[in-house]
Amino acid sequence: MAVYLDNSATTPVAAEVQQALLEVVANYYGNPSSLHRIGGEAEKLMAKAREVAAHVLGVNPGELLFTSGGTESNNLAIKGVAFQYQSRGKHIITTQIEHAAVYQVCKTLEKDFGFEVTYLPVDKNGVVSVQDVEQALREDTILVSVMHVNNELGSVQPVEKIGRLLKNRPKVLFHVDDVQGVGKVPLDIKQSGIDLLSISGHKIHAPKGTGLLYVREGVRLYPLLHGGGQEQGLRSGTENVPGIVALAKALRLAKENEKVHIEHLLGLKQTLLGGLATIHGVQINTPLDKRISAPHIVNLSCPGVKPEVLVHALGERDIYVSTTSACSSRQQQHSRTLQAIGLPQTRLHSALRVSMSVYNTKEDIDYFLQTLEDILPHYQKIMKV
């Protein structure tokens, strides 16, 4: 029995999405920029996918750009704004707990291009203060970038409140990294005053290498890729039509079933948290307040035991979890997010992330809990962090 609980790293591709992907690969191989019939068929399919994605997100089709994933969407949003509007100002606001695809972009803009970036702290729950955002705003601020759901803790940021705050500052653009939130934590893009929003396909049961960037009508970006002028000149390169269709289908499934999926995930999370509370030596890092916590992520610590040891021990029993975000798990560094919430060293050095999808079952969670309870005492005895 394999139990996959690393869905914040990536998700399995849904069966319906696989079918759509294979059909397009087999039958719609034309270049959508070509003028002939085969190219036109691919172009029409891509246009339909854009309409579907726009409809479920509540935006206009012309406000969506297809990208290769969350990292590209975040890069295009932040660098695109920075380079386009640098004559207006060179100050950016973000938080200390952003994914590397935002954090490292900001560091690069500081180091290589002369921008100033304010990295706002978060509280013990991993939530940024709206007041801190307001106080950090300056006359030369051009962008605020705040993630919707933190990828390690599952903490939900006050995106709607920040958006309302920024409506009074029309020269400050608002970018939201919604890679971990879409389909799990509802968010009204238009009502939240968001100017740019990033989505990754492989977090919602679409293939890797697919993504979206919402760009509000009227916002201009400096392109990162130059070439044939695809995607309104902002993302040159022949479009990945099969991936685009698959992403649109996965997004539609995620949004249409959002309420049911959330209820299912909340049930799993309740079982997981209830079981972890009974296991000696386990401490929960994820906020317990449902209002600020996503339904699919639980971060926990087992002080005294190296997390890599537990990841491998669980893996030997066909249970798959992670130590931190997948993009950082091979780096021998402490989690920036867990440091930001002030965890003591013992918990910082022993953290695991369990992340669920709609395909997980209560039996999966029960198996994980029983296995952890069985193996943890052994490692607590022999391990020293």
Q: Cβ contacts of residue 310 below 8 Å, gap of 6+? A: 302, 321, 352, 372, 375, 376, 379
Residue position matching structure tokens 């900001």: 106
Instruction: Please name the residue ranges forming H helices in the chain.
Output: 15-27, 37-57, 70-84, 100-113, 130-136, 159-166, 241-256, 258-276, 307-315, 336-340, 345-348, 362-382
Nearest partner of 201 among 253, 254, 247, 249, judged by Cα = 247
Please compute Rg for the chain using Cα positions: 21
Residue positions annotated with a catalytic role: 327
SS3 at position 178? coil
Residue position matching structure tokens 């400050």: 172
Q: Quick one: DSSP state of residue 143? A: E
In angstroms, the Cα distances linking 367 to 263, 322, 360 are 21, 17, 11
Nearest partner of 266 among 301, 300, 291, 302, judged by Cα = 291
- For residues 129 and 131, give the distance between their C-alpha atoms in angstroms, rounded to a whole number: 5
Distance from the Cα of residue 132 to its chain's centroid = 23
- For residues 105 and 156, give the distance between their C-alpha atoms in angstroms, rounded to a whole number: 22
